[in-house]
């Protein structure tokens, strides 16, 4: 397995987020100490939350609230659905009969039934992931495409704050990760709500992908094997003959070359080169 290099950051469950990726379980986005420092810098003395990472389980096209946590047993079945409610351990809370384990653990989560939005189509994805109504824009033939005027997703906001809180402006691990892949990928769409929008592409999520078995394949419309669900990052598959040791050796060599280039770029002699000489020097470094 390819090890993700860099300093570890630990989740509230005790696992490093790098390990989450390696075992195929990373969260949608992480909230770690950098965000806490950013909040402290504003003078906010509130108690706040203790979470260092968040798993945002977004059931795109998932079950209705009428079939899960907000059942309507007293209305006609044609409107309320075919399932029956069962009592949860939380007094007064009844949820679907097919969720007995969640019913037994209802003291560990909160059920919020007041969230709503004006979209009666897939564009509700924007509201759920950003907290804002979708702005007017050209969204393609299906009217669902993401644009650069969209509000940023929660994960993109976290990514922005993490970068701002970092002393170097750089992070050793992406704070916003989308699993198993970006929304709409197999349908040929870039669904709105999941990206950074007007905040800038630098804060878009890193998304894994499930490879297709053939051009018309859609893994979401069939059973996937465990081997397929390995949460690969596109373009990071190791090439034949490239071991982890060899990859680390290349990284050390690249670091040395970059260090030497910075020394040359900052030297007085280099600064006096003509534009043509600078271009030639750049070609030498890139070879």
Q: pLDDT per residue over 195-234, tens digit each?
A: 999 999 999 999 888 878 887 887 878 888 888 877 778 7
Q: Across the beta sheet with 206-209, what order do the strands follow?
A: 177-178, 206-209, 232-233
The predicted structure's pLDDT at residue 161 = 92
Higher pLDDT, 78 or 37: 78
Mean pLDDT computed over 272-280? 59
Exposure string (b/e) for 198-220, b if CB count within 10 Å is 16 or more? Answer: ebeeebbbbbbbbeeeeeeeebe
Name the nearest CA neighbour of 151 among 176, 164, 134.
134
Of 178 and 17, the structure prediction assigns the larger pLDDT to 178
Range 123-135 average pLDDT: 90
Summarize the confidence of residues 262-274 as an average pLDDT.
69
Query: Does residue 20 surpass a pLDDT of 50?
Result: no
**Most confident listed range (184-188, 253-257, 268-272):** 253-257
pLDDT bucket at 33, cuts 50 / 70 / 90: very low
| Phi/psi of residue 68, nearest 5 degrees | -135, -85
Burial per residue of 127-147, b for 16 or more beta-carbon CB atoms within 10 angstroms, e otherwise: bbbbeeebeeeebeeeebbbb
Q: What is the pLDDT of residues 134-189, one digit of tens each?
A: 999 999 888 899 999 999 999 999 999 999 998 887 888 889 999 888 888 777 78
**Does residue 52 surpass a pLDDT of 50?**
yes
Query: What is the pTM for the complete model shown?
Result: 0.65
Tokens read off for 286: 């890139």
Structure tokens at 243: 């071991």
Maximum average pLDDT range among 3-12, 121-130, 217-226: 121-130
- The C-alpha atoms of residue 70 and residue 97 are separated, in whole angstroms, by 12
Instruction: Extract the runs of DSSP E, i.e. beta strands, from 93-183.
Output: 94-96, 177-178
Residue 27's pLDDT band (boundaries 50, 70, 90)?
A: very low
How much is the pLDDT for 171? 84
Q: What pLDDT does residue 261 have?
A: 81
Q: How confident is the model at residue 277 (pLDDT cuts 50, 70, 90)?
A: low
Of 101, 68, 97, nearest to 85 (Cα)?
A: 97
């Amino acid at each position: 397995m390819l090890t993700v290099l860099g300093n570890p950051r630990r989740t509230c469950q005790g696992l490093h987020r790098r390990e989450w990726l390696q075992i195929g379980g990373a969260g949608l986005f992480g909230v770690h100490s950098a965000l806490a420092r950013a909040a402290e810098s504003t003078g906010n003395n509130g108690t706040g939350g203790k979470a260092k990472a968040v798993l945002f389980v977004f059931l795109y096209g998932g079950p209705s609230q009428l079939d899960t946590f907000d059942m309507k047993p007293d209305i006609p079945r044609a409107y309320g659905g075919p399932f029956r409610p069962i009592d949860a351990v939380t007094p007064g809370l009844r949820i679907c009969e097919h969720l007995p384990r969640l019913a037994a653990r209802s003291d560990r989560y909160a059920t919020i039934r007041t969230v709503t939005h004006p979209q009666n189509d897939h564009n509700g994805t924007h509201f759920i992931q950003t907290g804002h109504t979708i702005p007017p824009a050209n969204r393609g033939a299906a009217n669902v495409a993401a644009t650069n005027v969209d509000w940023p997703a929660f994960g993109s906001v976290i990514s922005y704050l993490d970068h701002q809180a970092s002393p170097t402006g750089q992070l050793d691990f992406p704070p916003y990760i989308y699993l198993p892949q970006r929304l709409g990928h197999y349908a040929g769409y870039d669904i709105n709500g999941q990206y950074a929008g007007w905040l800038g592409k630098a804060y878009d999520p890193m998304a894994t992908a499930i490879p297709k078995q053939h051009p018309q394949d859609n893994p979401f419309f069939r059973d996937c094997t465990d081997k397929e669900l390995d949460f690969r990052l596109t373009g990071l598959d190791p090439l034949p003959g490239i071991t982890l040791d060899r990859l680390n050796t290349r990284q050390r060599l690249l670091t040395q070359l970059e260090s030497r280039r910075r020394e040359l770029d900052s030297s007085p002699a280099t600064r006096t080169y003509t534009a043509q000489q600078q271009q030639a020097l750049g070609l030498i470094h890139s070879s």
